[in-house]
Structure 1
Amino acid sequence: MLLNDQVILITGAGGGLGGTAAIALAKQGAHIILLDKNIAKMEKVYDAIVEHGGPEPTMYPFDLAGANENDYQELADVVDRQYGSLQGLLHSAVDLSAYSPVANIRTQEWGHTLNVNLNAPFLLTRVLLPVLQKSQHASIVFTSDSSARNARAYSAAYGVSKIALEGFAKILAEEVEAGQKIRVNTLVPGPIDSPLRKKLYPAEDKSRLAAMNSLDEVYQYLFTDDSLGLNGQTIDAQTFQRR
């Protein structure tokens, strides 16, 4: 139980990868704060964690795109009051509504995708930094996409958001490095049999893809003491080997 007494907040916790990470980290004793706008999906992850014997998680319904700065600050204040500190933050929420040719993207779709994939991670990280800094060690992990990094046609707002997110992660890693408390890294899951992958490649033979729980080890590595000293790195889950 490498994460006993650790509190980790996960966005998109009702989704495929967010839920997978929540269960994997709870198995190591972490108390998980499930953050998602879809309550029904969060409840399924909640039940799965309890069934696996993990600590009872906290559900926090939250609309990343619709929330304002006061809502984000209220979330941070609640976490601070209830737990006193935070040891992990996993940005797993993702929006893919604007995956089409640039000429066809509506302004509303563009804005919504960037709000969820880029602005929300910035706002949430900013308000939670003081709570993370109260821990002896804390880990922030952003989730990216190798295909988006290659600037593929039609990735548009989704691709731009992931390119920018990786840049933001590296900037933040440089800023927190001197304090030696918080480490910031980016995870690229790669081809995984996830709901997002099904949406991107509906005709793909999913039997050739790794299951979502194949990421359990890399999630656990990034949030346990095994990754202390790892900062500003992009981890490819497909080539990951525990140090």
Structure 2
Amino acid sequence: MFDYQAPSQLLKGKTIMVTGAGDGIGKAAALTYAEHGATVILLGRTTKKLEAVYDAIEAKGYPQAAIVPLNLDGASEHEYRELANTLTSEFDQLDGVLHNASLLGERCDLQHYDIRLFEQVMRVNVTSQLALTQALMPLLKKSPAASIIFTSSGVGRTAKAKWGAYAISKFATEAMMQLFANELAESQPNIRANAINPGATKTAMRAAAYPNEDPNSLPSATDIMPLYLYLMGKDSLTINGQSLNAQ
């Protein structure tokens, strides 16, 4: 999928939410989806970063985006319901969700892992994804072909030493994706769920995980967008329950 060539208007008329849209892969995905015709809902913790992405989309003349500031670490059930109510009043349907927001946590032996930090990583990387997907499900059901994309990792398939809560959260993400895919295939076949392992990419999180690595040796977030486009567009309508590599 690294060399997938998406039609220029692959996502025309679609409404897609991207979490963690203010930076890194989320920012690249938001801009790429907008470039291919989508109305993008930018969800993230830092309003200033979301506004910068919004302005970049406006400057290019892409469909007008929407900004949704939300701290996934501390969001309550009420906030998710309010978010869903707001979106329902603004949009007829939701055609896609990219669950991109994640916390790295600490790189250390699991026996020494701080429990409060562990719980925080799990809240952002796992619990918030479930709560948000549940809240958005009524809008996703209105789409003729909706795509939910979860963000996985190589350490979410084979645990590596000192990856702690992040690795455990990504194993959970893989399970969540498979559950949604299997259950929706029976009850709501117009919604598909898959996961992407972006691989080693030039992002702030990668730099934090590998401080001694030369970031210029890595592909950029924009370089790995072909798979993100593929799974959000019509060419992947039969793909469900798969965990794919962007590289």
Query: Normalised by the size of structure 1, how large is the TM-score?
Result: 0.95
Q: 2:106 aligns with which of 98, 104, 109?
A: 98
Question: Percent identity, aligned pairs only?
Answer: 37
What amino acid does structure 2 have at the position aligned with 1:72? Y
What amino acid does structure 2 have at the position aligned with 1:98? E
- The Cα shift of 1:98 comes to 3.0
- 2:134 alignment counterpart: 126
- The Cα shift of 1:107 comes to 1.9
- 2:167 alignment counterpart: 159
Aligned runs of 1:1-243 on 2, under 5 Å? 1-178=9-186, 179-238=188-247
Structure 2 gaps of 5+ residues are: 1-8
- The Cα shift of 1:198 comes to 0.7
Aligned partners of 1:4 and 1:28 also within 8 Å: yes
> In the comparison of the two structures, how many residue pairs are matched?
238
Partners of 1:216 and 1:189 lie apart in 2 by 9
Aligned partners of 1:148 and 1:155 also within 8 Å: no
What amino acid does structure 2 have at the position aligned with 1:194? T
- The Cα shift of 1:76 comes to 1.0
- The Cα shift of 1:64 comes to 0.6
Aligned partners of 1:144 and 1:165 also within 8 Å: yes
Partners of 1:129 and 1:78 lie apart in 2 by 14
What amino acid does structure 2 have at the position aligned with 1:58? A
Cα-Cα RMSD: 1.1
Post-superposition Cα deviations, 1:19-38, rounded to whole Å, max 9, x if no partner, equal 01000000011000000011
C-alpha spacing 1:53/1:216, structure 2 compared with 1 (3 Å): farther
What amino acid does structure 2 have at the position aligned with 1:234? S
